[in-house]
Amino acid sequence: MAKKKAIITGITGQDGSYLSEWLLSKGYEVHGIIRRASSLNTARIDPYFDPESKNFLHYGDLADGIDNLIFEIKPDEIYNLGAMSHVKVSFDVPVYTGDVTGLGATRILDAIRRGIENGILDPGVKYYQASSSEMFGTTEPPQSENSPFNPVSPYGCAKLYAYHMTRAYRKGYKMFASNGILFNHESPRRGFNFVTKKITKTACRIKLGVQDSLTLGNLSALRDWGFSGDYVRAIWMILQHNEPDDFVVSTGEYHTVKEFAEKVFEYLDLDFGKYVRYDKSYERPNEVPALLGDSSKIKKVLKWKPTVDFNMLVKMMVDADLEYEKFILNSPSQAIFFDAKKKGGKK
């Protein structure tokens, strides 16, 4: 039987790397869209795409559209994970966020529509949209598929537009187009400027004596944090379902940013109060106070459930960061780079 083909946008990101790993383990031919960058941006996927398989990575950008790649590859499944994904940054680049995170989805959906109509693509091609709990914004928790959306950030608004376009194309053109409404999910591969990773990495550096404090913004925000590895399994299951649909993916447990940080410092045997500082510059113009997902539907319909709880997630991230930071300290060539960074001041 021919291998199933998948295209992943955002393959260089946290979820893109876990999803690549998962799909390759299932025997898929995985194609990824990468952006040209002045420094290499493929570190998360290098273990899965060695130089021999470089022909499966293609330059592209959601602002430009990836129509030609879709028509050439003729995928069975398209996972649209690419996005300007940082909520606070979206207030700095609202138009760009709308273009990439919002319109980027429409560019793909419409390429699929044209591809099917012109006989280039199989009508059964499946599309996954990486929708976000940020779309709920100020809606009271818990939030489910039936809760109202009240986004308060340019990112949340762009994601909500993409969510509705996915549903509109599903209804209007009978396309297999599904939304996963994922609540926050983290891992050792999480980008540094998200709060969990910033806390675990900085706390490890404090433990090793190479940094003296951790500066954060709003400590009282509540988030439902899961593990990216569990969530990409849900993403794949959503596209294997016998019909297109929308599903909330979450753990059903929430904690404040402060609780996450306290847990990390406690695990490292450090005094939280001694090292953590507040800086208003990390606050957003609008805050999303509380996200707590009700994922009863995906548990019932697809039999998905998370395997990693809050304590396991904290431990997994701290263990990985401690190992990495020790490696940097003990590796002579990296140490030169590390010293230069230290002299360069704070991050």
> Catalytic annotation on 155?
yes
d(CA 62, CA 133): 21
Does 100 bind ligand NAP (CB under 6 A)? Our answer is: yes
Does 234 bind ligand NAP (CB under 6 A)? Our answer is: no
Helix, strand, coil distribution of the chain in percent, nearest 5: 45, 15, 40
> x/- contact string, 280-319, with ligand NAP (CB under 6 A)?
----------------------------------------
Give the residue among 190, 272, 274, 281 at the shortest CA–CA distance from 229: 190
- Which of 20, 132, 133, 187 is flagged as catalytic? 132
> x/- contact string, 166-185, with ligand NAP (CB under 6 A)?
----------------x-xx
Strands 5-9 and 77-80, by their bridges, are: parallel
- Number of Cβ atoms within 10 Å of the Cβ of 202: 23
Among 61-69, 102-110, 214-222, 295-303, the segment contacting ligand G4F (CB under 6 A): 214-222
Q: Which does 217 bind (CB under 5 to 8 A by kind): ligand G4F, ligand NAP, none?
A: ligand G4F
- The alpha-helical segments, DSSP class H, found in the chain are 14-25, 67-73, 87-92, 94-97, 104-117, 154-173, 195-207, 228-240, 257-267, 272-275, 296-301, 310-330, 332-343
Q: In the structure encoding, which two tokens stand for residue 120, read together?
A: 């280039």
d(CA 211, CA 325): 11
**From candidates 21, 61, 67, 259, binder to ligand NAP by CB under 6 A:** 61
Does 325 bind ligand NAP (CB under 6 A)? Our answer is: no
Among 9-17, 50-58, 143-151, 274-282, the segment contacting ligand NAP (CB under 6 A): 9-17
Beta carbon of residue 89, minimum distance to ligand G4F (angstroms, whole number): 9
- Contact residues for ligand NAP (CB under 6 A)? 9-10, 12-16, 33, 35, 37, 41, 61-63, 81-85, 100, 130, 132, 182, 184-185, 191
